[in-house]
Amino acid sequence: MKLNEHIFRANDIRGIAYEDLNEQVVSLLGRSLGSEALSRDIKDLIIGRDARVSSPEIMEWLSSGILSTGCNVIDIGIVTSPMFYHSTFELAASSGVVITGSHNPAEYNGFKIVFKNQSTSSDEILLLRERIINKDFQLGQGKLDKVDIKESYINRIVKSVQLNKALDISIDCGNGAAGVVAKEVYEKLGCNVIELYGNPDGLFPNHHPDPSKKENMLDLIDSVAKNNSTVGLAFDGDADRLGVISPSGEMIYPDRQMILFSRQVLESNPGASVVFDVKCSQLLSDEISRLKGNPLICKTGHTFIKQKIRETSAHLGGEMSGHIFFNDRWPGFDDGIYAGARMLEIIANSDDKNVFESVPNLVSTPEINIKATDDRKFQIVDQFIKHSNFENANMIDIDGIRVEFKKGWGLLRASNTSPFLVLRFEAETEEELAKIKEIFYLNLKEIEPETDRF
């Protein structure tokens, strides 16, 4: 068997369907999961899947592997990743896996795994790999049941969020799994909903389901303008990330969303901790401190954010990619649809015509991605850290390197999920931003001479 070990990543397992994730590999992963579950005295695993073309077959292969160990399978069908997370709190079983390629291209797929309500750590994912390599499997015959959790998920959101008035909104489901539930959630909250691309289609015929990229938000921006919508909400392929468009058509990046969410959460929970990743604006940390909350910077990745929230009992977490984690009225998992509902609550309960105008802003870039192989990307970051010289700057190296200058900062890290280097920059002025970008470019070019300007 040819096993691409790069599919075992920091936050999940992910690769190209039918190549990295062929029938043999996926069946063995099922045997590994079932065996690991039984070793932890877990007898039932919940399995859900997204709308990708490869997901039905991958679900069959994974289920057969799990059942062959004697562990039972609870099939919850096509769901968002947050619906799957919800099921681990709603059903008697608290463990399982959702099959999803998330925001990656259509040919990719993967697995997000939970044991006893907690996402697997990097070490746990490597343990699953070791079970496969060592053929450390149990034998038995489990049983398969099917359960529908959609209604209980909708009810959970409706009970948590209260809107003071009806809102006219536009949403873009991107032909992803959000289409099975998002419109119904917002209508039950009392909104008038214009829905784009609500039909789940794993080929993603309209645009790529990644709301962090502006080119994927253009149709939603148009819808907000044409329909005079109060806000536009967009979701990635498995709906655990949120994109937001203001009534004026501005993209509100997640770190600026987090400023509004922090105000709401800290008003109800004075002094609470708020976790955010290294890609987020300095303005977010400043605002949390101004509100007398406790700002906590963290590595990028949904498992790292969740772990930090558990360790610190933080009431809120978020990262620049759009994962938002509420741990006040919600069980702490990332959910783009629920985060959208909380944004609607903020808007409906405000007297401002455009609440986003109250959110400060600096000159910044979105995420900049540079192609690098999975073998090379971490080496480049390590070399950059070792050989770069930054004078009069504060360096944070918990995840790649974030260099904080007097009037701005720059970041270089390796993506946990894709073969890319990730950069981001922020400064007080365009001139300062250009200076910081140039410093990073020159240092990176010393390591990778073919690097283009960014």
User: 3-state SS string over 148-207?
Assistant: CCHHHHHHHHHHHCCCCCCCEEEEECCCCHHHHCHHHHHHHCCCEEEEECCCCCCCCCCC
Q: Are 67 and 141 in contact (CB under 8 A)?
A: yes
Mean pLDDT of 419-426: 95
Tell whether the model's pLDDT for residue 64 goes beyond 90: yes
d(CA 351, CA 132): 57
User: How far is CA 8 from each of CA 2, 34, 198, 286, 367, rounded to the nearest angstrom?
Assistant: 14, 17, 31, 36, 23
Taking phi over 0 as left and psi of -120 to 50 as alpha, with beta for the rest, 41 belongs to left
Tell whether the model's pLDDT for residue 117 goes beyond 90: yes
Mean pLDDT of 318-346: 97
Homologous superfamily assigned to 268-335+349-358: Alpha-D-Glucose-1,6-Bisphosphate, subunit A, domain 3 (3.40.120.10)
d(CA 79, CA 359): 33
Q: What pLDDT sits at residue 11?
A: 80
Q: What pLDDT sits at residue 314?
A: 98
Which amino acid appears at position 344 of this protein?
L
Q: What pLDDT sits at residue 418?
A: 82
Please list the alpha-helical segments (H only) found in 40-165.
Answer: 55-67, 81-90, 122-134, 150-160
Mean pLDDT of 275-280: 96
Please list the alpha-helical segments (H only) found in 291-333.
Answer: 302-312
**Cβ of 249: how many Cβ atoms within 10 Å?**
14
Tokens representing 35 are 């065996």
Mean pLDDT of 89-108: 95
Lowest mean pLDDT among 2-16, 138-152, 240-254, 368-382: 2-16
Residues with Cβ < 8 Å from 194, sequence gap 6 or more? Answer: 168, 169, 170, 171, 223, 227, 229
Phi, psi of 61 (to 5 degrees): -65, -45
Convert the pLDDT of each residue in 18-48 to its tens digit.
Answer: 999 999 999 999 999 999 999 999 999 999 9
- What is the CATH class of 363-447? alpha beta
Q: Are 412 and 381 in contact (CB under 8 A)?
A: yes
Q: What pLDDT sits at residue 391?
A: 84
Q: Are 258 and 318 in contact (CB under 8 A)?
A: yes
Residues with Cβ < 8 Å from 91, sequence gap 6 or more? Answer: 46, 74, 147, 149
Residue in the structure block whose two tokens are 């987090």: 258
Tell whether the model's pLDDT for residue 417 goes beyond 80: no
Mean pLDDT of 166-181: 97
Taking phi over 0 as left and psi of -120 to 50 as alpha, with beta for the rest, 36 belongs to alpha
The yes or no reply on domain 151-251 and CATH 3.30.420.40 is no
User: How far is CA 245 from each of CA 169, 281, 325, 349, rounded to the nearest angstrom?
Assistant: 10, 18, 20, 18
Helices (H) and strands (E) in the chain, counts: 13, 22
Mean pLDDT of 111-117: 96
Report angle CA 200, 201, 203 to the nearest 5 degrees. 155
The pTM (predicted TM-score) of the whole model is: 0.93
The yes or no reply on domain 5-148 and CATH 3.40.120.10 is yes
Q: What angle do the packed helices 23-39 and 122-134 form, to 10 degrees?
A: 110
Q: What pLDDT sits at residue 218?
A: 98
**Confidence label for 374 from pLDDT (cuts 50, 70 and 90):** confident
Sign of the Cα pseudo-torsion (214, 220, 222, 227, in order): negative
Q: What pLDDT sits at residue 380?
A: 96
User: What mean pLDDT is reported for the chain?
Assistant: 96
For residue 450, give the DSSP letter: T
Q: What percentage of residues in the chain have a pLDDT greater than 90?
A: 92
Buried-exposed string 113-148: b where 16+ CB fall within 10 A, e elsewhere: bbbeebbbbeeebebbbebbeeeebbeeebeeeeee
Q: What pLDDT sits at residue 34?
A: 98
User: Between β-strands 408-414 and 192-196, what pairing exists: parallel, antiparallel or unpaired?
Assistant: unpaired
Tell whether the model's pLDDT for residue 216 goes beyond 90: yes
Phi, psi of 139 (to 5 degrees): -125, 140
**Confidence label for 303 from pLDDT (cuts 50, 70 and 90):** confident
Catalytic positions, please? Answer: 102
Q: What percentage of residues in the chain have a pLDDT greater than 70?
A: 100
Tell whether the model's pLDDT for residue 173 goes beyond 80: yes
Two domains, one topology: 151-251 and 268-335+349-358: yes
End-to-end CA distance of the chain: 40
Nearest to 126 by CA among 215, 14, 40, 5: 5
Tallying the residues shown for the chain, one arrives at: 454
Residues β-bridged to residue 323: 241
Q: What pLDDT sits at residue 74?
A: 98
Enumerate the domain spans of the chain.
5-148, 151-251, 268-335+349-358, 363-447
**Confidence label for 302 from pLDDT (cuts 50, 70 and 90):** confident
